[in-house]
Amino acid sequence: MRGYGNAYVKFEGANPTGSFKDRGMTVGVSLASSIGVRGVIVASTGNTAASAAAYAARAGLECVVVLPKGGVARGKLGQAMLHGARIVEVPGTFDNALEYVLETVLSNGHVEDAHYYPLNSINPWRLEGQKTIAFEIVEEIGVPDYVFVPVGNGGNIYAIWKGFRELMELGIIDRVPRMIGVQAEGAAPMVRYWRGLGEARVDNPRTVASAIRIGKPVNWFRAYRAAKYSGGMFIEVSDEEILTAQKVLGREGIGVEPASAASLAGYIRALREGLVDARDKVVLIATGHA
């Protein structure tokens, strides 16, 4: 990347619905289809909805999308509707939407007496799909020293780490990069836990980056392990730093939504604080399209 000699941007915006979520959704929906459910259900801040709706449509399954009222980018909601998803809005944040899916639906496994398969990031098959990010990085540039990942529910940082680890177990690579999880200051439960300040939980998550506006990360322990056992860490950045990084990427010809720019914002901060060296080979995951 220009101006940052040894940093590479892995642009996930070129996936079919515009984010890395597609990598996991194609696996999850294939599984749902093979076990013969009527449809799939997801809570979402946007990209999961768009992705689940598209892959469910392609598989001929119904899709129910549970959204926090008013907390979702319009374009993403439009995408889900275009693919024929049924939208259920609940008051509160993403965390309340997920509770709705888990409590109302998983408690009896049914919506209106039909089986719906849950496809949130607790779903292990999605993580199996997302680990292909690591496979592609290794194919393209080998093993970097660091990978910076924006963290919301924490599934992606874990999945990418898992991908590297499996390549190492197979003897294809001989080390795993340090995984750096980047959160927004107003929604940084993992940073809080990492620093020993309490549970991985924030009650009123706030940030412009809606895709990582998560107060109770479902995969907090998996994400924690990814950072800890790779020798990485969790860091936080301000909304202002995120928006600046979004512009820097824009001038590079890479259009991303704010959450995706958190990885570059985190890298710039880590350089400034001496956590990484400018010579280190770094991959910044740009998680979704503008």
Ligand X SMILES: *Cc1c(COP(=O)(O)O)cnc(C)c1O
| Contact set with ligand X (CB under 6 A) | 19, 21, 47, 121, 150-156, 211-212, 257, 259-260, 287-288
Q: What is the DSSP letter of 99?
A: H
Cβ-closest residue to ligand X?
A: 288
How far apart are CB 173 and ligand X at their closest, in Å?
A: 23
How far apart are CB 36 and ligand X at their closest, in Å?
A: 28
Q: Please give the backbone phi and psi of residue 132, each rounded to the nearest 5 degrees, phi first.
A: -65, -15
Query: Whose Cβ is closer to ligand X: residue 156's or residue 230's?
Result: 156
How far apart are CB 5 and ligand X at their closest, in Å?
A: 25
Query: Whose Cβ is closer to ligand X: residue 144's or residue 152's?
Result: 152
Q: Would you state the structure tokens that stand for residue 145, as one six-digit string?
A: 């020293």
Query: Whose Cβ is closer to ligand X: residue 47's or residue 207's?
Result: 47
How far apart are CB 152 and ligand X at their closest, in Å?
A: 3
Q: Would you state the structure tokens that stand for residue 156, as one six-digit string?
A: 């992606």
Least Cα distance to 32 among 54, 51, 59, 66 occurs for 59
Query: Whose Cβ is closer to ligand X: residue 19's or residue 230's?
Result: 19
Distance CA 203, CA 234 (A): 19
Query: Whose Cβ is closer to ligand X: residue 110's or residue 206's?
Result: 206
Query: Whose Cβ is closer to ligand X: residue 79's or residue 260's?
Result: 260
Which neighbouring-strand residues pair with 236?
183
Q: What is the DSSP letter of 170?
A: T
How far apart are CB 108 and ligand X at their closest, in Å?
A: 26
How far apart are CB 154 and ligand X at their closest, in Å?
A: 5
Distance CA 267, CA 147 (A): 9
Least Cα distance to 282 among 131, 137, 155 occurs for 137
66 neighbors 43 (Cβ within 8 angstroms): yes
Distance CA 227, CA 234 (A): 7
